[in-house]
Amino acid sequence: IAAFAASCTESQEPDPAIDIEFLSQSPLFPGAAYEITDLELSFHVVEFHPFGDKYVIAGFDGFVVTDHDFNVLTEFKDDLITHKVLTYGGVALVATNRGLFQINASVEVKKILEVPITDLEIDGSGRLLFVQGLGELSKEKQEPANIHILNLQEQSSEFFTDPTDSLNTFLNQIEIAADGTIWALGSEHTIFQFRAGEMIQRFSNETLDILPDMEIYTGQGLLEVEGNTVYYATDNVHEKRVVRYDGAWDLFLRVDVTGFLELYQQDLISSHTRDVEIIGDEVWLGYRDGIIRSSGDEFTIVQDPNLLDMGIDKIYPFDDGRMVFILNQRQIAEVRPGL
């Protein structure tokens, strides 16, 4: 896989100071309507999720519920960190390090579970699965990580995985494939594969060189599943890397950050990857200076002139083609293609 490959369209408004063959300074969505909302938030945003005719926007120190014009309907403030927002059975669920909160259709907020939660997903049979995080306790004071089933009506939970089967790690993220396989991301870039509550495979750099080495990649990666294909994105000061599992692991994308800086003298791709999404047949990586989009054998750095100087923290695609971006952890941009 080539570290640099041309795949960009001609810029509409190129910066004459930058001449890089695979850098596009054209809009991501030509002819689309871009709107940077005037919603003023007092916290850093990390999650966005539609909730009927409303949106839930959450992050550090609280969350808000807005209408589709981004008018705030209710605001909840607390000393918390949001890890996930999803909707289930007519309510919105906000998973945080201080417990699980429920928002009903009347935008009333209620805490329904006290345990810290790092991720929350719905499996193919409609069950709510979550992984318990560290919260305010040290690792020495908590049980080894497991996946739990949440009973929303009884506001209780039970083990989905075998509690005696220690993974020797704490889980940060779970994703569910189309065939029901559960993929879980642990600390130190360890990835687990579960079926029917049983861990069937464990992948790490100790046995698979293609996965990141913890001594080099010190941060947490990002796991994304499309169908039955798994993508894992990581980065460090030297490179950005996306590996893929589709029956076997392979290197999907590698961007040589050090080589880029030496060749072009441009600090465009050295910041950490903030989000990874599958858009059509491409992988999109959001980062400080724009988006890296790739189909695997080539990539394009896209600096959308409508979103310049705004780091892409979260990419949320809608089924109707609209797109919402969280920018600089404070602002919301809505893009409506074809208008």
Print pLDDT tens along the chain (339 aa).
323 322 233 333 444 444 567 888 888 898 999 999 988 888 889 899 999 999 999 999 999 999 999 999 999 998 898 999 999 999 999 999 899 999 999 999 999 998 889 899 999 888 999 988 654 444 444 455 678 899 888 888 888 887 666 666 778 899 999 999 999 998 778 899 999 888 899 998 888 888 877 555 555 678 999 999 999 998 877 888 899 999 999 999 988 888 777 777 666 676 788 899 999 889 999 888 789 999 987 888 888 888 877 788 899 999 988 999 998 888 899 999 875
pLDDT of residue 4: 30
Give pTM, 2 decimals: 0.86
Cβ contact 244:231 at 8 Å:
yes
Question: Which of 170, 166, 194, 163 lies closest to 180, judged by CA?
Answer: 194
Cβ of 265: how many Cβ atoms within 10 Å? Answer: 8
pLDDT of residue 22: 80
| Burial of 191: CB neighbours in 10 Å, binned 0-12, 13-18, 19+ | buried
pLDDT of residue 145: 65
pLDDT of residue 223: 93
pLDDT of residue 214: 58
Which residue in the block uniquely carries the two structure tokens 């995080």?
A: 133
pLDDT tens per residue across span 69-97: 999 999 999 889 899 999 999 999 999 98
Sheet with 33-36: list strands edge to edge: 33-36, 331-336, 323-327, 312-317
Cβ of 319: how many Cβ atoms within 10 Å? Answer: 5
Between CA 37 and CA 39 the distance in angstroms is: 5
